[in-house]
Amino acid sequence: MKEKWLEWAARLQSIAQAGLTFGENQYDLDRYQQIRTLSVEILHEYTEISHEKIRDLFASETGYQTPKVDIRASVFKENKILMVKEKIDGAWSLPGGWADVNTSVGESVVRECLEEAGALVKPKRVIAIHLADRHFDFSYPYTIYKIFVECELIDNNFSENTETLEAGFFGIDSLPSLSAERNTRDQIEMCFEAKKHKLFETVFD
């Protein structure tokens, strides 16, 4: 559950961004910029995140603020799920990452699998669309939709890249240490459950 101070900072940022987008009076624009700066100061004060990173991730956008989209692939081989070892923390996650602009969900998941795991896949169905705050202990300064997509494996050949150290397939009883900000055990189990049932209904929220 998102802490109240973080929720307030996110709301201040959203109000400021909308004001900077639609405001016309310079006096008002200056005040909205001050509100945005204050939201960054609040986040910096209560977290270990640097001012620069907060501004890049949280206070650098323009236009009406909308959720960020993180896409994760559920890819199976012989009843084992594909995972990649992240360079950033040495832990494991489903292949995935932020969706790129001008790219569909299907195109994004294909790209992420190829780049991170060397896996050529075909998207089949959406398993879940989760609001990250409701599934992670980590406090995010912005709203994130996490979309889990079941994919058919066509081929895989891992190669060195900038984001991951290795890739492998794991059974539900032998999962490696998970990258806590990227996926939970419950979400991995959900992918296994969806794999079992052709009529599995998409999980929302």
Q: How confident is the model at residue 190 (pLDDT cuts 50, 70, 90)?
A: very high
Higher pLDDT, 123 or 36: 123
37 and 121 belong to one structural domain? no
pLDDT digits (tens, 9 = 90+) for 2-17: 577 777 887 788 788 8
How far apart are alpha carbons 202 and 196 in whole angstroms? Answer: 14
3-class SS of residue 154: strand
Domain that holds residue 23: 4-58
32 and 120 belong to one structural domain? no
Position 1 scores a pLDDT of 44
Task: Enter the tokens of residue 54.
Answer: 């907060």
Across 95-163, where does the E strand assignment appear? 96-98, 119-131, 144-156
How far apart are alpha carbons 47 and 5 in whole angstroms? Answer: 11
Position 192 scores a pLDDT of 98
Q: How confident is the model at residue 108 (pLDDT cuts 50, 70, 90)?
A: very high
User: At a CB cut-off of 8 Å and minimum separation 6, what does 154 contact?
Assistant: 120, 121, 122
The domain tally of the chain equals 2
Mean pLDDT to the nearest integer, 157-176: 96
Q: Is residue 45 part of a domain?
A: yes
User: At a CB cut-off of 8 Å and minimum separation 6, what does 142 contact?
Assistant: 10, 13, 57, 58, 65, 67, 68
Position 57 scores a pLDDT of 60
How far apart are alpha carbons 194 and 196 in whole angstroms? Answer: 5
91 and 16 belong to one structural domain? no
Higher pLDDT, 191 or 39: 191
Task: Enter the tokens of residue 76.
Answer: 């199976």
Q: Which of 168, 24, 37, 18 is nearest to 92 (CA)?
A: 168
191 and 93 belong to one structural domain? yes
How far apart are alpha carbons 74 and 51 in whole angstroms? Answer: 35
- As a whole number, the mean pLDDT across the chain is 89
Per the CB < 8 A criterion, the answer to whether 32 and 5 are in contact is no
195 and 101 belong to one structural domain? yes
pLDDT digits (tens, 9 = 90+) for 48-92: 677 676 666 666 666 677 888 999 999 999 999 999 999 999 999
Q: Domain ends where: 36, 58, 80?
A: 58
Mean pLDDT to the nearest integer, 23-50: 82
- Between the alpha carbon of residue 93 and those of residues 78, 86, 156, 196, 203, the distances in Å are 19, 7, 17, 21, 19
116 and 160 belong to one structural domain? yes
81 and 182 belong to one structural domain? yes
% the chain with pLDDT above 70: 89
Q: Is residue 63 part of a domain?
A: no
46 and 100 belong to one structural domain? no
